[in-house]
Amino acid sequence: MAKVDGPLFSIEARGKIGDAMVFFPWKGRHAVRRWLKPTNPRDVDQKIMRQKLSGMGKCLGAMETPGSVLANGSAAVVAWKAVTPAAQIWNAYFVKKGMEDLSSDAIFTALSAAIQGADQIDTWVACAGELGLATLYATENIYATDISPELQLAMAAYAAYKAEISTATDIYSSYPSNWTTDQISQFATDFTAAY
């Protein structure tokens, strides 16, 4: 039921009227919109997308950000800030660059297969473990399959590759599955090392 103050003057209204309209405050203004029944389909495609976004988010959480131990953030944060367009924030740009292609199941599967088949898989696993990344396990309501820590780190590497981030070591110029052991270690170190 809608709550209305001064109904003849339309000073304030809150709540819904039947299943037709909803009145609510928004950014200090009074707003009204059509009432929509909230939906949250839990189909496989949505679960996979949530899983990919969560993997990118876990990598963001592993980066040393400004205000933590490092005043300006880690080398990875500084590198991302350098390539981020002025109208965006660096962490949103990080996720955007990663998800532009990885939202496609074919590209995501190809990256996963390339990392699992890479000669340096042990380095990917070790570096992901050092960063504290953990497996995102499939659950009935949230995720469709498991995403390993090394695949989460590879997703972050793919985002850096797509953003064409350049550093002194220039490790981002090739596809992540082609990186050497030293390049993978440097990438993981950049998550927590001072710039």
| Shared-domain flag, residues 14 and 96 | no
Percentage of the chain modeled with pLDDT above 70: 85
| Shared-domain flag, residues 51 and 78 | yes
| Shared-domain flag, residues 56 and 152 | yes
Question: What is the per-residue DSSP string for 36-87?
Answer: --------HHHHHHHHHHHHHHHHHHHSPPTTSSSSS-BHHHHHHHHHS-TT
Is 75 part of any domain? yes
Rounded Cα gap, residues 125 and 38, in angstroms: 40
pTM of structure:
0.76
How many independent structural domains does the chain possess?
2
Is 195 part of any domain? no
Over residues 28-76, the pLDDT tens digits come to: 777 888 888 877 777 778 888 888 888 999 999 888 766 666 667 788 8
How confident is the model over 177-192, as a mean pLDDT?
88
Is 20 part of any domain? yes
| Shared-domain flag, residues 53 and 109 | yes
Rounded Cα gap, residues 145 and 47, in angstroms: 9
Q: What range does the domain containing 68 cover? A: 44-190
